Amino acid sequence: MKAKAAPDQKPLVIVVDDSVSILNSTKRLIRSFGFRPESFASANEFFGSKLINECACLILDVRMPCVDGLELQRRLAETHPHIPIVFFTAHGSNEEQERAMTAGAVAFLRKPVTSEVLFHAIQNALRQNHRKSNEG
């Protein structure tokens, strides 16, 4: 299940979730897939980061304090529309899923998910990112 990329060209996969345990475990899993993981505990922290410009895939929780995942998705559509988003949530409603997918999310996964499901969602997001990069 490893991604094929040279060590210095590993795609940056960023996780934004307000749960420290989710951030840590998901980062380890992403690293085991062969990607370069990074994490942020809030949408504002991510949005203000310089890493936003390197982000190849964003794994995003829906429900977070202050700025939720759907609001971050809306903001990114205006400023960084090339970043593919995989929502990864324990509390997402059908309405939130519909909003996320209509706005262009690659996947809407409900926790817990298997590592294989998450890996395939990231792969799909990276393919989407590659297509958008080649179009621009």
With bands split at pLDDT 50, 70 and 90, how would you rate the model's confidence at 88? very high
**pLDDT tens for each residue of 2-52:** 554 444 689 999 999 999 999 999 999 999 999 999 999 999 999 999 999
In-domain check, residue 4: no
Residue among 37, 96, 49, 48 nearest 68 (CA):
96
H helices of 34-114, in order, are 43-47, 69-79, 94-102
Measured from the Cβ of residue 68, the count of other Cβ atoms closer than 10 Å reads: 17
Q: How many domains does the chain have?
A: 1
Q: Which domain holds residue 26?
A: 9-135
Sign of the torsion angle spanned by Cα atoms 49, 133, 97, 13: negative
Task: Give pLDDT, residue 100.
Answer: 98
In-domain check, residue 2: no
Q: For the residues 103-129, what does the mean pLDDT come to?
A: 95
In-domain check, residue 116: yes
In-domain check, residue 3: no
Task: Give pLDDT, residue 35.
Answer: 97
